[in-house]
Amino acid sequence: MIASNNNHRDYRDSSDGALTVENLSKVYVSAMGKVVSLRNVSFTVNKGEFVSVVGPSGSGKSTLLNMIGALDRPSSGKVFINGIDIFSLNDSQIATVRNDTLGFIFQSYNLINRTTILKNVEFPGITGGMSDGDRRRRALKLLNFLGIKDKAKYKPSNLSGGQQQRVAIARALMNDPKIILADEPTGNLDTKTGADVFNLLTLLSRKFRRTIIMVTHNPVLAEATDRAIHIRDGSIEKEVVNVERQK
C-alpha cells in the first residue's frame, strides 16, 4: 500500500531501515554562551522497531532527532543510516538520503497553508523526481489510506489538528521512507486523536516494518512503543524495553 515506484539510488539500495547513533554530541554556541545539548549519545534502532525518546524539556530530544534527520550537523559523533555514515556525505548526498530514506512529522504539522492538502502531500515527490501523474496518484492513495481523501482540495487551516497531522503523516510517507522521525506528533492533539495518530505509527512499524523514532512527553504512549530511550541533560539516562512488544 505504501510502496512507491521511486528510482532508487546506489547508496540506499541496501536500505533496510536500521539506524545507529555513535557518540553523538552537540554544542550550541551563541551570544548567550555554550549549551551542551547532547553528550556522547549512542544507540542502535533495528529495522521495523518503534522507539520513543522521552525526557524533560530542554534535555536534547529535538536536537537528537534533528541530528538523526541530518537537519543539522553534530559537533562530534556519527549517525549511520543503513550502514552509511551520513555526515561523511556531501550536502547534496545528505539531501538525497534525507528525501529518500527519512520521513519527518512535527508537533505543529508544518504544512504549507497557502496551498491544498493534496499539494502538501505531493511536495516531497517533486524533489523525489516522480512524474506529475504518479505523484498525484500516490498522494491521493495516501490520503485515502489515512481517511482524509475527501479533504484533498481543502487548505490546511480548514482541517482539525488531528486531520492536519494525518496530512503531515501522508506527506512524510510520500517517498516511502524506511525511517520515520516524529517530534511530539501527538503534542497538539487531544487524547483520542493522539491515540489515533499513535496507532497509525504503530501500524506503520508493525505491518509495514517502518523504523520509527518518536519524541513524546506522554508516558503512556512511550510505554507502548518497543523501547523508550530516556534522555536527561543531553545523555541517555536509561532505556526501557517493552517486553510485551518483544513477543
- Residues in touch with ligand ATP (CB under 6 A): 28, 30, 35, 37, 55, 57-63
Minimum gap (Å) between residue 97 Cβ and ligand ATP:
22
Of 63 and 99, nearer to ligand ATP (C-beta) is 63
* Cα–Cα nearest to 103, from 211, 237, 31: 211
Alpha helix segments (H runs only) across the chain? 61-68, 91-101, 117-127, 132-145, 161-173, 191-206, 219-224, 243-246
205 is a site residue for Mg ion (CB under 5 A) = no
- Residue 15 binds which one of ligand ATP, Mg ion, none, with CB within 5 to 8 A depending on kind? none
Long-range contacts from 56-60, C-beta under 8 angstroms, 24+ separation = 56/232, 59/231, 59/232, 59/233, 59/234, 60/26, 60/231, 60/233, 60/234
Contact between 107 and Mg ion by CB under 5 A: the answer reads no
Q: Report how far Cα 190 is from the mean position of its chain's Cα atoms.
A: 20
Is 101 near Mg ion (CB under 5 A)?
no
Q: Measured from the CB of residue 18, what is the shortest distance to Mg ion in angstroms?
A: 24
63 interacts with, out of ligand ATP, Mg ion, none, CB within 5 to 8 A per kind: ligand ATP
Q: Which of 15, 37, 62, 163 touches Mg ion by CB under 5 A?
A: 62
Stretch that binds Mg ion, among 54-62, 67-75, 161-169, 239-247 (CB under 5 A): 54-62
d(CA 60, CA 76): 15
Q: Give the DSSP letter string of 99-118.
A: HHHEEEEETT----TTS-HH
Q: How far apart are CA 81 and CA 153, in angstroms?
A: 36
* 37 touches, from Mg ion, ligand ATP, none (C-beta below 5 to 8 Å by class): ligand ATP
216 counts as binding Mg ion under rule CB under 5 A: no
Q: Find the shortest distance in angstroms from Cβ 222 to Mg ion.
A: 14
**Interaction site with Mg ion (CB under 5 A):** 62
